Amino acid sequence: MADAADPAGGDRPAFDADAFYEVLDAERSERRLTWKDVAAQAGVSASTLTRLGQGRRPDVDSFARLVAWGGFTADQFVQPPRQAQAGGFITNLPAYLRSDPNLDERGVRALETIIRAAYDQFRQES
């Protein structure tokens, strides 16, 4: 089984365990819950969440329960092969931001400006 970072140059899809954990943690914080609360509400063991925090991958049933608990889509944690990507993060940024019901148009524009400036500052030239 391939690791999330494909040493062969990104020619296969990969599960992004770090992104999954970060999104779970953000949702947990937003709801002001403890990890124990998340485990109980999602129907997974607390040890599953501990392992996720250590960078390990969840089993498929735990993944499905946590995705459902958070209202996420499973495909947002799968990175397509690099050559198969249709547009990158910056290309899709406006759509991502507009999909957030907590942002109005002013907030979308402000965040887009901030994120684009940071991206331009830190992106690595290929």
Domains of the chain listed by start with CATH number = 14-79 (1.10.260.40), 86-122 (no CATH)
Segment 47-86, tens digit of pLDDT:
999 999 998 999 999 999 999 999 998 888 887 765 544 5
Most confident of 3-17, 26-40, 94-108: 26-40
Contact 51, 24 (CB under 8 A): no
Mark 9-24 as b/e (b = at least 16 C-beta within 10 Å). ebeeebbbbeebbebb
**Pick the residue with more confidence: 3 or 81?**
81
Q: Distance (Å, rounded) from C-alpha 123 to C-alpha 125?
A: 6
- Indicate left, alpha or beta for 104 from its phi (over 0: left) and psi (-120 to 50: alpha): beta
Least confident piece of the model among 12-16, 102-106, 117-121? 12-16
Segment 85-111, tens digit of pLDDT:
455 777 778 877 887 888 898 998 999
Backbone angles phi, psi at 14, to 5 degrees: -145, 145
